[in-house]
A and B are shown apart, each in its own frame.
Chain A
Amino acid sequence: MRPTKQFATPPRRVALFVTCMVDTLYPEVGLAAAELLERHGVEVVFPYEQTCCGQPAFNAGFRDEARALARRYLDVFEPFIRQGVVDAIVVPSGSCAAMVTHFYSALFEDPSMAAERRRAEELAVVTFELTEFLVDVLGVTATGARFEGKVTYHASCHLLREMGIDEQPRTLLANVEDAELVDLVGHDECCGFGGLFSIKNPEISTAMGRRKCLNLEQSGADVVAMCDVSCLTHINGLLGKQGQHIRAVHIAEILNSQVDVVETPEELPRDEAPASVSKPPAAGGQPRRWQDVR
């Protein structure tokens, strides 16, 4: 287990580090994450200055560039924590969470950057991946979600091996009503994305991804849930090209797909929902079906 802050009382407000990919490609995932948090009594704050955590640069070996973005991240989020505006930072992505909690200290390894390293470490203990926060911090095991269909789970590499998070998302999924959880062969095997790896080594990346898709096909699942939209982009990119029926979804979309929504003023009115946002659950007690996703 990585060291995290132990909260005496449950956090009331968190800052959402939505990640650049969710921000630009999958806003519905960010909204689902925010709604999930709000439904469990946590107010969500979105710092608009946030951009990218620097992971692409770091993984490509461009450490100066990654360090510049790490500094930006610290500058943006630190005041929220320090001034007590929020108690924690929540990230709906395993790899970005790993970058912030695990690799920032590596970026500031040099003794001359001891001060920044300390800052990074202080933020790391209050930064949580979404399912980690729900289960470990809030003590949630069921989000009250209903989802009709066969669901399987893909364990994203950084979430699983850098963050050590696996039970949390599985627990939450297992408690989704009407969802039938099915096993996935090679659930903990890389999907082949690897950031720039997918561009630098497209053939290997594709071969790895196709193996994943084959396993998905054989699992019989309707959707595969995961905690990282980067894997999701890769898997859906392959599934789409190959004309496969199964779809990858972010876990927040399933955990948030519920019927008994408490009518809150911040609920997105349906007619105003833009096309890229997944539809809110159908009214009349019908559980959300997997076909409705995306």
Chain B
Amino acid sequence: MPTAPINLHAPYKERIHDALHNKNLKTVLNRTVGRMSASRVAAMGAVDGEQLRRQVRQMKEYVLRNLPDLLEQFEANVEENGGHVHWAQDAADANRILLDLARRHAVQKVVKSKSMVTEEICLNDALEGAGVKVVETDLGEYIIQLAGEPPSHIVAPAAHKRIEDIAAVMQEKLDMPPTLDAEVMCSAARASLRREFLSADMGVSGCNFAIAETGTVCIATNEGNGRMVASLPRVYVAVMGIEKLVPSVEDAFLQLQALSRSSTGQQVTVYLSMTSGPRQPLDVDGPEEFHVVLLDNGRSEMLARGYGEALMCIRCGACLNICPVYREIGGHAYGSTYSGPIGSVISPMLAVEASEPEKLPYASSLCGACRDACPVMIDLPRLLLDLRHYYVQQGAPSWLERQAMQGFLKMMQSRKLYEAGGKMGSLGSNLLASFNGGAITHMPPPFSAWTKTRHFPPLARKSFRELWAERMERRKSISGREPGEG
């Protein structure tokens, strides 16, 4: 039985609840997420991981500081190589550009290499709406396309599916005989995909990084499908966020290192496909036309609002794999294209289709494991805190929450109120606890959110300060000397 996918458009609470109560999802998350994290730790440990992180960080800082210049340099070089560069302000812009290209070239079928940015702009829907057939060619992405689901992980789109779920989908959609043999399943997908590659008119990919000094779009894959997408069809279009640039070829390989080691724990991905322009007269293959769509979709505003650090992300997924929240709920529960800690930061700011993205900055215990795992050392907890602050400034918290915070502040600003509050709290909570064997087991909302699954201890009968004062009093009477300050 396939995993019931989480409805991305359901309210936040419902999504979380469904995800937490999905047994198959739990199984698969327990299996894969920890393993991916362990691979990263091993791969980063095999080299001077900290040095690598510092270098990538430095490079990405340079990129952000010089973004306008690098973009222009990249554009000039792509065009010099015979390619075309399009600037898209938002998702609608980008989709229009791609639809125009498809129309102009009488495209009936598009093959795609796995790409988060085209998920972000819902490109498949736009193309299919115009009657163009779209085929995802990354195995994971292909599986979820067959299942009619969105990706649940930045690098492993089918991370929410068990092999049993995958087999069921493939049996249904590809006439595959019943099997759980991964090799047989791969062959079935391969046979089917090969036909699609050979009959496609246009290839569309995202971009892992693009080299400004040469005008080169790079895609890293493990299946070689990226190379087919970029070289077999007549037209190849790469869609990339404006932050994906690296200055030089050396920088590209630096980022590839960090990406490979942090995402899948490989030294390097099996394939790195680099496209600098269309087929030249003496080339044996390659597209007749090469286009790059540079997408903003909220990115320059992120930079302007002080969240530029999040634009250093290289989409490796390390923060998802280490996140204790992601491990419990998976990617779909986030209700956005981008999940995990980085998704919680960028989803509210990108013009991305997401349900209640303003809830995401609170979907973190701020444990900081993501920051330690991030190959670019992005301070994700800090960015989440900044977003929470932003929402408070916007007046987003409920009236009750704001009142509670004011009450809390008032009490904590006055020793008298604090001590009186403590006394009352002690009396009340001990009374409550006395009915339940010493622990508070039931509280009214909103605290019932705690007591539903957890006990709460009653406040001490005597606070530390009371005990301390008594202690000082005793010490004074015994030794006859003055107690310490305070």
Contact = CB atoms under 8 A, between A and B. Distances in A.
A201 B324 CA distance: 13
B442 to A, nearest CB: 11
Interface stretch (A143-151, A203-211, A251-259, A283-291): A203-211
Contacts of A139: none
Interface string A183-208: 00000111011111111111111111
Among B328, B367, B464, B470, find the residue whose CB has the most chain A CB atoms closer than 10 A: B464
Interface string B386-414: 01111110000100010001101101110
B5 to A, nearest CB: 19
B408 A204 contact: no
Interface in A2-19: 13, 15, 18
A290 to B, nearest CB: 18
Given A65-B405, A72-B413, A265 B479 contact: yes
B173 interface: no
Nearest to A43: B484
A61 B389 contact: yes
Contacts of A51: 411-413, 415, 418
Q: What is the interface residue range for chain A against chain B?
A: 35 or more
B467 A274 contact: yes
B167 to A, nearest CB: 28
A266 to B, nearest CB: 5
A41 interface: no
B390 A61 contact: yes
Among A31, A85, A197, A272, find the residue whose CB has the most chain B CB atoms closer than 10 A: A197
B475 interface: yes
A208 B409 contact: no
B467 A266 contact: no
A25 B475 contact: no
A189 B324 contact: yes
A238 B454 contact: yes
B20 A22 contact: no
B446 interface: yes
A70 to B, nearest CB: 11
Among B367, B405, B426, find the residue whose CB has the most chain A CB atoms closer than 10 A: B367
A237 B456 contact: yes
A157 B367 CA distance: 5
A275 B457 CA distance: 13
A27 B468 CA distance: 9
A236 interface: yes
Interface stretch (B58-66, B139-147, B291-299, B358-366): B358-366
Interface string A263-275: 0011011001011
Among B368, B441, B454, B455, find the residue whose CB has the most chain A CB atoms closer than 10 A: B454
Contacts, number: 214
A175 to B, nearest CB: 27
B188 interface: no
A46 B363 contact: no
Nearest to A237: B454
A57 interface: yes
B450 A45 contact: no
Contacts of A18: 464-465
A202 B405 contact: no
Contacts of B479: 265
B365 A27 contact: no
A68 B459 contact: no
A110 interface: no
B453 A202 contact: yes
Contact of B460 (A46, A268, A276): A276
Contact of B392 (A46, A62, A276): A62
A199 B364 CA distance: 12
Contacts of A28: 460
Contact of B446 (A31, A57, A72, A199): A199
Contact of B462 (A22, A47, A192, A274): A274
B1 interface: no
Contacts of B418: 20, 51
Contacts of B412: 20, 51-52, 54, 69, 72
Contacts of B406: 65
Interface SS of chain A? helix
Interface residues of B, number: 71
B459 A60 contact: no
A63 interface: yes
A205 B409 contact: no
Nearest to B389: A61
A209 B405 contact: no
Nearest to B17: A203
B139 to A, nearest CB: 30
B460 A266 contact: no
B471 interface: yes
Contacts of B465: 18, 23, 46, 48
Among B408, B449, B479, B486, find the residue whose CB has the most chain A CB atoms closer than 10 A: B486
Contacts of B368: 157-158, 161-162
Contact of A204 (B20, B441, B470): B20
A221 to B, nearest CB: 20
Interface string A68-79: 110010000000
B183 interface: no
B486 A205 contact: no
B372 interface: yes
Contacts of B441: 241
Contacts of A274: 460-462, 467
A31 B460 CA distance: 13
A240 interface: yes
Given A65-B409, A202-B453, A240-B455, A266 B471 contact: yes
A33 B413 CA distance: 25
Nearest to B401: A60
A197 B362 CA distance: 7
A276 B364 contact: no
Contact of A63 (B372, B389, B453, B478): B389
Contacts of A241: 441, 453-455
Interface in A53-104: 54, 56-63, 65, 68-69, 72, 80, 85
Interface of A: 13, 15, 18, 20, 22-28, 30-31, 34, 43-49, 51-52, 54, 56-63, 65, 68-69, 72, 80, 85, 106, 157-158, 161-162, 188-190, 192-209, 211, 233-234, 236-238, 240-241, 265-266, 268-269, 272, 274-277
Given A61-B391, A204-B16, 19 more contacts: A24-B425, A28-B460, A31-B464, A31-B471, A56-B408, A57-B408, A61-B388, A62-B392, A68-B409, A69-B412, A80-B485, A85-B485, A161-B371, A162-B368, A192-B324, A233-B456, A265-B478, A274-B467, A275-B461
Interface of B: 16-17, 20, 324-325, 328-329, 362-369, 371-372, 382, 385, 387-392, 397, 401, 405-406, 408-409, 411-413, 415, 418, 422, 425-426, 439, 441, 446-447, 449-450, 452-457, 459-471, 474-475, 478-479, 484-486
11 contacts: A31-B464, A45-B486, A46-B465, A48-B465, A62-B389, A65-B406, A68-B413, A72-B412, A199-B450, A201-B325, A238-B454
